[in-house]
């Protein structure tokens, strides 16, 4: 399958390229340009050394790396982070340490998040006086059940 490449720029020519670890992976890993110690409950904004040229009709989504989230409690504050097609600045990631006791140390070059590029539908919006009825109606925030704490 032929894929149209996404153009990107590195802030340092010796910085890591964006590559998939395994063929067929949805995302590519993003690495931090920072050395940081993130205390329990703290958050920090880190650079990735990468800027993207996303085509109109696509979006970049920054997700936590599952192993770091499960094993260390490292996640992303606004997961998924959104990179709009018109943005050309350095991609940054707002990390948070969700572990209640242990600081997390990250070093320059560590893989700290993953980037997924998705096609999106660009829509227009129309303000109306009333919306059409739907079976779900206004039910939200646990209205469909499925967990004992929601009963």
Q: How many domains does the chain have?
A: 1
CATH classification of the domain holding 68: 2.70.40.10
Are the C-beta atoms of residues 33 and 108 closer than 8 Å to each other?
yes
Please report whether residue 148 resides in a domain.
no
> How many whole angstroms separate alpha carbon 29 and alpha carbon 12?
17
Confidence of residue 151 (pLDDT cuts 50, 70, 90): low
Residue 19: pLDDT above 70?
yes
Query: Rounded mean pLDDT of the chain?
Result: 93
Please report whether residue 97 resides in a domain.
yes
Q: What is the pLDDT of residue 132?
A: 92
Please report whether residue 15 resides in a domain.
yes
Please report whether residue 128 resides in a domain.
no
Least confident span in 4-13, 44-53, 136-145 = 136-145
Please report whether residue 34 resides in a domain.
yes
* Chain segment 110-146, per-residue pLDDT in tens: 999 999 999 999 999 999 999 999 887 777 777 777 7
> How many whole angstroms separate alpha carbon 50 and alpha carbon 91?
6
pTM (whole model) above 0.85: yes
Query: Which residue in this structure is represented by tokens 């097609």?
Result: 85
Please report whether residue 130 resides in a domain.
no
Please report whether residue 65 resides in a domain.
yes
Residue 87: which domain range? 7-119
């Amino acid at each position: 399958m032929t894929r149209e490449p996404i153009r990107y720029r590195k802030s340092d020519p010796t910085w890591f390229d964006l590559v998939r670890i395994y063929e067929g992976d949805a995302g590519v890993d993003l690495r931090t340009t920072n050395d940081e110690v993130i205390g329990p409950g703290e958050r920090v904004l880190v650079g990735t050394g990468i800027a993207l040229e996303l085509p109109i009709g696509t979006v970049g989504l920054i997700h936590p790396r599952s192993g770091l989230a499960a094993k260390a409690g490292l996640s992303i504050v606004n997961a998924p982070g959104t990179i709009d097609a018109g943005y050309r600045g350095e991609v940054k990631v707002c990390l948070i340490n969700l572990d209640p006791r242990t600081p997390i140390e990250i070093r320059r070059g560590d893989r700290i998040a993953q980037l997924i590029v998705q096609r999106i539908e660009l829509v227009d919006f129309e303000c109306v006086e009333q919306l059409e009825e739907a079976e779900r109606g206004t039910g939200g925030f646990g209205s469909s059940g499925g967990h004992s704490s929601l009963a």
